[in-house]
């Protein structure tokens, strides 16, 4: 989410990101609309056509068989499997701890008026697992494992046909009930509407490219989604104690994701700002992924200098970065004063890369300033908190009269009658 072009109080820019390029949203929107309509009307046949067109694939069957799943797991390098299972265990433990905080409720708010809620797992969830330029083995872990912990009845995973075989193994180990080799907007359509082979789901989660994002936006309503994801973001808050080498390393680690990654330093120390800029240039000269990270830094790299900590906090909350690291003398104290971010990394020992891969918190996070109103994917995203109520005669006597009066004043005679009927029944003699 590029910074607003107007000046921000107490903030000057040592390095300003370039303004965003002209949007191609309309072309993507029209293309996705056509894909969704075709899959909805023609099911598997349309999915197969789009697979040939976009992924150069011609599969006889979309679903990965149990045998193919076992083969993918067996083909994993032993250390890769151990590392994947390590990540699964950590994400599971954290999701279980989060789930334990979500409890059913029963309360009598007035004599005879009983209210409550249940915590109910979503019945069927679709997890989109992106292919990407590299086999991102953590991707299925982050979407599938919390669904498993939440108690979702059926977890459907879709990944591009040309995805690395290790991604199939990751889906299997994470607990996917069914795995389909379908990518792009057609995968979102298949999960949203259902086809002859792909079951319709109740909610779709997981990041993807612009077409996947747009497809999620268009199917939202009858089908739930986790969020609309933009390019990845990392910002680091630092004072004079910040380590320029470490800050530059962390910025470039995230920048290598994509040429559109947004990377920034917000600091109260002008000397550190200059040192970080120099260190980024030095590290790019030897970074094997510099072709990607360098473009991201050139186009979207930002260094903001704040006159004091209050301005630093205000500007950080304005940016609402997806990943927000704190490299200050008192990182825990500063953390308590921040409110807008996707996930917070407190102290220089906490690197985004640990969360991205295996430490246990989820890496599917809000971008484009959505951290101002929501957090990231978590076990609660797969659970519904649904309320209920029940009343005794005493409860009816408490709530019926005001309900009758309100209904009458609103001119809703049917409402008034429904409220009054139960009150009248209480006045009738028994038998």
Could you list the beta-strand ranges (E) of 292-416.
301-306, 323-327, 343-346, 383-391
What does the alpha-carbon distance between residue 352 and residue 371 come to, in Å, rounded to a whole number?
16
- Nearest partner of 251 among 260, 262, 240, 243, judged by Cα: 262
Q: Token digits for 183? A: 């990518």
User: Phi and psi of 144, rounded to 5°?
Assistant: -85, -45
Q: Is 49 within 8 Å of 186 (Cβ atoms)? A: no
Q: Which of 172, 257, 260, 323 is catalytic?
A: 323
Query: Is position 323 annotated as part of the catalytic site?
Result: yes
Residues 6+ away with beta carbon under 8 Å from 36: 185, 188, 189, 192, 193, 215, 218, 219
Query: Is position 164 annotated as part of the catalytic site?
Result: no
DSSP H helices, 244-339, are: 244-255, 270-284, 290-300, 309-319, 331-335
H-run or E-run covering 398: helix 393-409
Q: What angle do CA 195, 143, 145 make, to 5 degrees?
A: 110
Q: Is 272 within 8 Å of 230 (Cβ atoms)? A: no
User: Phi and psi of 374, rounded to 5°?
Assistant: -150, 160
Q: Token digits for 81? A: 């499997």
DSSP H helices, 118-230, are: 138-150, 165-174, 184-193, 210-219
- Nearest partner of 237 among 276, 208, 193, judged by Cα: 276
Q: Which of 322, 327, 348, 363 is catalytic?
A: 322
User: Phi and psi of 321, rounded to 5°?
Assistant: -65, 150
Output the DSSP codes for 34-103: HHHHHHHHHTHHHHHHHHHHHH----S-SBPPHHHHHHHHHTS-HHHHHHHHHHHHHHHHHHHHHHTT--
Q: Which sequence positions are flagged as catalytic? A: 322-323
């Amino acid at each position: 989410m590029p910074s607003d072009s107007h000046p921000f109080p107490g903030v000057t820019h040592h390095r300003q990101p370039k303004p965003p390029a002209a949007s191609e949203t309309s072309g993507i929107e029209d293309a996705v609309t056509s894909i969704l309509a075709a899959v909805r009307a023609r099911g598997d046949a349309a999915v197969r056509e789009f697979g040939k067109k976009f992924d150069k694939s011609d599969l006889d069957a979309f679903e990965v068989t149990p045998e193919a799943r076992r083969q993918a797991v067996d083909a994993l390098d032993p250390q890769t499997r151990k590392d994947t299972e390590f990540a699964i265990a950590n994400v599971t433990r954290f999701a279980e701890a989060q789930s334990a905080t979500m409890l059913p409720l029963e309360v009598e708010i007035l004599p005879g008026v009983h209210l409550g809620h249940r915590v109910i797992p979503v019945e069927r969830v679709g997890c989109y697992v992106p292919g990407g330029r590299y086999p991102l083995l953590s991707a299925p872990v982050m979407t599938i494992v919390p669904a498993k912990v939440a108690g979702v009845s059926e977890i459907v995973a879709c990944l591009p046909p040309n995805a690395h075989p290790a991604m199939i193994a990751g889906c299997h180990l994470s607990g996917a009930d069914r795995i389909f080799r379908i990518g792009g907007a057609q995968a979102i359509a298949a999960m949203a509407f259902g086809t002859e082979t792909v079951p319709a789901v109740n909610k779709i989660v997981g990041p993807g490219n612009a077409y996947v994002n747009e497809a999620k936006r268009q199917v939202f309503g009858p089908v739930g989604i986790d969020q609309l994801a933009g390019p990845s973001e990392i910002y680091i808050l630092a004072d004079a104690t910040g380590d320029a080498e470490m800050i530059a390393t962390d910025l470039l680690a995230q920048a290598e994701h994509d040429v559109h990654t947004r990377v920034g330093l917000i600091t109260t120390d002008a000397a550190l700002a200059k040192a970080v800029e120099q260190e980024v240039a030095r590290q790019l000269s030897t970074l094997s992924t510099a072709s990607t990270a360098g473009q991201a830094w050139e186009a979207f790299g930002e260094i903001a200098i704040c006159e004091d900590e209050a301005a630093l906090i205000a500007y950080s909350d304005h940016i609402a970065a997806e990943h927000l690291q704190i490299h200050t003398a008192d990182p825990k104290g500063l953390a308590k004063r921040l409110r807008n971010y996707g996930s917070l990394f407190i102290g220089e020992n906490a690197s985004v890369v640990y969360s991205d891969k295996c430490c246990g918190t989820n890496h599917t996070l809000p971008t484009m300033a959505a951290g101002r109103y929501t957090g990231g994917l978590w076990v609660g995203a797969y659970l519904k908190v649904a309320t209920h109520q029940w009343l005794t005669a005493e409860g009816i006597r408490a709530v019926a009269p005001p309900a009758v009066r309100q209904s009458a004043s609103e001119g809703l005679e049917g409402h008034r009658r429904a409220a009054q009927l139960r009150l009248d029944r209480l006045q009738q003699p028994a038998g």
